[in-house]
Copies of this chain bind each other. A is one copy, B any other.
Amino acid sequence: MFSKTCQYGIRAILYLAVHTSEDKKLGVEQISNGLDIPKHFLAKILQQLTKHHLASSSKGRNGGFYLNTENKNSSLLKVIHAIDGSDVFSLCILGLPECSSQNPCSLHQEALKQRSAMLKILEDQDIQQIAKRIDLKHIKI
């Protein structure tokens, strides 16, 4: 479903949502330790997310990555779009180039159903809401 890069990206964003704010930043090393993700690889992903304004960063001493309010009001869907591209949820599940409701493949209907439930939470709930749930229910990231 999601590339490893994207999985890492989602988890990193959630981690930042739970642990950081405008005045509580974290360095790549800390995040990478907390999530058990290769450090340099994670750095790339965080840079990418920062470019897309889905995370924030500041350079220099006491710098680090964090989510500001705007970032926390964004959605995981945007994170996914930024990393895996905007058609993860529309590409044909059987890889057919021209698959649509008009001209469906044999699993098209089921793929639609399958995706709608997932899409809903990914775009309706903002990151802060998910972070809150993680915090309350002690869900792991």
Number of A interface residues in the complex (CB < 8 A): 34
CB atoms of B104 and A139 under 8 A apart: yes
Stoichiometry, as copies per complex, reads 2
A interface: dominant SS: helix
Minimum C-beta distance from A125 to chain B (A): 10
Q: Does A114 contact B (CB under 8 A)?
A: yes
Interface centre among A11, A96, A106, A140 (most CB of B within 10 A): A106
* 10 new A-B contacts at CB < 8 Å, known A1-B1, A106-B141, A107-B121: A7-B93, A7-B95, A99-B140, A103-B140, A104-B139, A105-B139, A105-B141, A110-B122, A114-B115, A117-B117
**Residues on the B chain within 8 Å of A99, using CB:** 140
**Residues on the B chain within 8 Å of A104, using CB:** 139
